[in-house]
């Protein structure tokens, strides 16, 4: 979800209003996904590097998150949307950690899953999985399959398509392990402007690709 800050600048607004507009886009995109039958949506909301931003911006983002959690609870339950968080959640305030855990519990078992990456880093996830594996005392050969069980959300399938908005063409530490065979789609549009038409363009591009996963189709 990149480009909130530049969107705000373009509209001569403060950065935080860009993040607020971005939260609305997330709400819309979640519903587009449901309409077309997508079962999982993972969004990069806050990276392990984002802590380096100004105090005001970090606390504004955390507040936005907490209000997203509160204001969406009813609708998530009603629409059977499961809420999940991946990332180093112990970096977050205890209050936010509790709010997240409560919402995860209340929304468990839905038929669509919204995964929010918070204080998330792909390298951090791999390091954390390695530590968890070492601590688990699991015996036997370490394979990709056994290792991946120690990632933050082993029950969530790898993404088919990853969209990055705002014209940046890099992966910035997002789902490093899980994206090994994902299709990437880059668009210049800032996240708050990512509307239904842009979403359809991304899906259309995805549908034209041939995915071989390293194999050959005859
Ligand atoms: C993305 O928007 C949202 C978060 C990282 C929380 P940015 O804040 O990165 O927006 P730009 O890149 O400054 O435009
Ligand atoms: Mg950015």
- Return the active site residues: 2, 50
CB count in 10 Å sphere of residue 60: 18
Which ligand has the shortest distance to the CA of 46? 1
Binned average pLDDT, 10 residues per bin, the chain of 218 residues:
98 98 98 98 98 97 96 97 98 98 98 98 98 94 96 98 98 98 98 98 95 78
**Predicted pLDDT of residue 211:** 81
pTM for this one?
0.96
Containing 117, the helix (H) or strand (E) segment is strand 112-120
d(CA 60, CA 166): 21
CA of 47 to the centre of ligand 1 (A): 10
CB count in 10 Å sphere of residue 168: 12
**Predicted pLDDT of residue 109:** 97
Ligand 1 lined by 89 (C-beta under 6 Å)? no
Exposure string of 93-118, with b = 16+ CB inside 10 Å and e = fewer, is: eeebeebbeebeeebeebebbbbbbb
d(CA 42, CA 107): 16
d(CA 184, CA 201): 13
Closest ligand 1 atom number to CA of residue 22: 3
**Predicted pLDDT of residue 201:** 98
**Predicted pLDDT of residue 217:** 64
Closest ligand 1 atom number to CA of residue 45: 6
Ligand 1 lined by 2 (C-beta under 6 Å)? yes
**Predicted pLDDT of residue 218:** 64
Question: Which CATH architecture group holds 4-205?
Answer: 3-Layer(aba) Sandwich (3.40)
CA of 57 to the centre of ligand 2 (A): 13
What pairing do the DSSP bridges indicate for beta strands 81-86 and 112-120? parallel
CA of 117 to the centre of ligand 2 (A): 15
């Amino acid at each position: 979800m990149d480009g909130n800050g530049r969107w705000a600048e373009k509209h001569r607004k403060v950065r935080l209003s860009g993040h607020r507009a971005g939260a609305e886009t997330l709400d819309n995109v979640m519903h587009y996904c449901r309409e077309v039958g997508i079962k999982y949506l993972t969004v990069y909301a806050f990276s392990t590097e984002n802590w380096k931003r100004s105090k005001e911006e970090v606390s504004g983002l955390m507040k936005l998150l907490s209000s997203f959690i509160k204001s969406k609870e009813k609708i998530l339950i009603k629409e059977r949307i499961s809420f999940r968080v991946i990332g180093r959640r112990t970096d977050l305030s205890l209050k936010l950690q509790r709010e997240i855990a409560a919402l995860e519990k209340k929304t468990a078992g839905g038929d669509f899953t919204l995964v929010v990456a918070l204080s998330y880093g792909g390298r951090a996830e791999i390091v954390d999985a390695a530590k968890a594996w070492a601590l688990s005392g699991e015996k036997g050969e370490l394979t990709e399959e056994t290792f991946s069980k120690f990632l933050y959300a082993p029950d969530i399938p790898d993404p088919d398509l990853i969209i990055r908005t705002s014209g940046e063409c890099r992966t910035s530490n997002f789902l490093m392990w899980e994206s090994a065979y994902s299709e990437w789609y880059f668009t210049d549009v800032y996240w708050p402007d990512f509307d239904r038409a842009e979403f359809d363009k991304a899906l259309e591009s995805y549908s034209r690709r041939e995915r071989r996963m390293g194999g050959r189709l005859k």
